[in-house]
């Protein structure tokens, strides 16, 4: 059970939404799929689930091509989109039964599966209510149950914890972890803490192109090898003065007189002081920030104009 993305390209006229993206999401693991807004994440997921066709390339689910056998792939993939659309006038059980019918399940199989999912997704207290009466957290649980209805081998989740309170996030994470033992899970999110809490592997794209595909532990090791300094000044400065330092990863102006500088250079602090001295800059402080997965993400997806 795995999902393989092979040389995926999606073009809308002159716009290249996905540009030759390839990666494998293995079974029994949670793969974080990250990128800034407009990077091509949702387009990639829609192709993987058979909602839209690729311009070139392919996605294979358990070895089955989505371009050649889309209906078969759809039966193997559960998808929870970010906006989680549903019929709010339906009751929870009624809605899940409707989804089961759409997948062609007979009544006995459908009923058994609904009962399993109500327990798995923590809907025991709410299943008798209309969807319109549920909180955002419980609607997300119903959306997760919907995605799991056909017992898919691959589960794709788009921002599953957006808008949830801390307790709801913990509960949804628990369900995702439990499900991941026997499935391939792809988690798209902007929240780095979500990735660190759940994911084994991380794929990052920027402007439709792959910029990272590694295990979480490897990325965290790279982050820990970074030097990250928060530099403040007593007056506005030209941040571009720091853009030519050795082994620079990123240089991000926070305000007119604050800069965050990330580098693999152990002498970063000394280099900053040299530049400060050369240009007589009004330095106020230099504080060590340490490395983080967030820093790696920002350095890989930053715009060149920041340097």
DSSP states along 154-176: EEEEESTTTT--HHHHHHHHHHH
Give ranges for CATH 3.40.50.300 in the chain: 3-215
Measured CA to CA, the distance from residue 244 to residue 59 in angstroms comes to 41
Q: What is the DSSP string of 251-273?
A: EEEEETTEEEEEES-TTHHHHHH
Q: Which residue has the tokens 């794209």?
A: 205
Q: Give the pLDDT band of residue 31 (cuts 50, 70, 90).
A: very high
Q: How far apart are CA 168 and CA 159, in angstroms?
A: 14
pLDDT band of residue 216 (cuts 50, 70, 90) is confident
- Residue 216 and residue 295: Cα distance in Å, rounded? 14
- β-strand 30-34 against 56-61: which pairing, if any? unpaired
Residue keyed to tokens 């990128």: 35
Cβ atoms of residues 209 and 21 within 8 Å: yes
Q: What is the pLDDT of residue 300?
A: 81
- Region 149-176: what's the mean pLDDT? 89
Identify the pLDDT of residue 162: 79
pTM of the model: 0.75
Mean pLDDT of the chain: 88
Coil, strand or helix at 284: strand
The strand pairing partners of 34, in sequence order, are 204
Distance between CA 277 and CA 283 in Å, rounded? 9
The residues near 41 (Cβ < 8 Å, ≥ 6 apart) are: 33, 34, 35, 158, 188, 205
Report pLDDT digits (tens) over 160-170. 887 788 888 88
Let me know: does 153 contact 81? Beta carbons within 8 Å: no
| DSSP annotation of 30 | E
Q: Give me the sign of the Cα torsion angle 19, 160, 112, 85.
A: negative
pLDDT of the residue at 305: 37
The 10s digit of each residue's pLDDT in 235-293 is: 999 988 988 887 787 787 878 888 888 777 677 888 899 999 999 999 999 887 655 67
Neighbours of 132 (CB within 10 A): 12
Q: What is the CATH number of domain 227-290?
A: 3.30.70
- CATH 3.30.70 maps onto the chain at 227-290
* pLDDT (average), residues 180-195: 88
Angle among Cα 107, 110, 114 to the nearest 5 degrees reads: 135
The CA angle 82-86-90, to the nearest 5 degrees, is 155
Q: Write out pLDDT tens, residues 105-145.
A: 999 999 999 999 999 999 999 999 999 999 988 999 999 99
**What 3-state class would DSSP assign to 81?**
coil
Query: Is the domain defined by 3-215 classed in CATH 2.40.30.30?
Result: no
- Let me know: does 55 contact 9? Beta carbons within 8 Å: yes
User: Structure tokens of 173?
Assistant: 């994470």
Question: Angle CA(148)–CA(154)–CA(159) in degrees, nearest 5?
Answer: 75
Distances (CA, A) of 157 to 252, 253, 279: 31, 33, 50
Sorted by sequence, the CB contacts under 8 Å of residue 119 that are 6+ apart come out as none
């Amino acid at each position: 059970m795995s999902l393989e993305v092979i040389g995926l390209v999606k073009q809308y006229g002159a716009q290249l939404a996905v540009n030759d993206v390839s990666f494998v999401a293995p079974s029994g693991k949670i793969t974080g799929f990250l990128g800034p807004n407009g990077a091509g994440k949702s387009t990639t997921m829609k192709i993987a689930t058979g909602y839209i066709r690729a311009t070139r390339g392919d996605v294979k689910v358990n070895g089955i091509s989505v371009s050649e056998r889309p209906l078969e792939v759809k039966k193997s993939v559960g998808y929870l989109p970010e906006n989680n659309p549903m019929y709010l006038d339906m009751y929870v059980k009624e809605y899940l039964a409707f989804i089961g019918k759409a997948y062609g399940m007979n009544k006995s199989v459908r009923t058994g599966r609904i009962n399993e999912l109500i327990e798995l997704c923590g809907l025991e207290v709410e299943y008798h209510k209309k969807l319109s009466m549920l909180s955002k957290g419980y609607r997300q649980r119903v959306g997760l149950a919907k995605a799991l209805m056909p017992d898919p081998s691959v589960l794709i989740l788009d921002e599953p914890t957006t808008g949830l309170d801390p307790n709801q996030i913990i509960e949804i994470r628990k369900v995702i972890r439990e499900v991941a033992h026997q499935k391939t899970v792809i988690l798209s999110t902007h929240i780095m803490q979500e990735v660190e809490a759940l994911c084994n592997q991380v794929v990052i794209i920027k402007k439709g192109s792959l910029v990272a595909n590694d295990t979480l532990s490897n990325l965290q090791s790279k982050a820990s090898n970074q030097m990250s300094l928060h530099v403040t000044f007593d007056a506005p400065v030209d941040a571009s003065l720091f853009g030519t330092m050795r082994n620079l990863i990123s240089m991000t102006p926070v305000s007119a007189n604050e800069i965050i500088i990330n580098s693999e250079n152990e002498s970063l602090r000394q280099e900053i002081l040299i530049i400060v001295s050369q240009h007589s800059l009004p330095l106020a402080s230099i504080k060590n920030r340490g490395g983080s997965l967030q820093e790696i993400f920002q350095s890989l997806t930053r715009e060149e104009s920041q340097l």
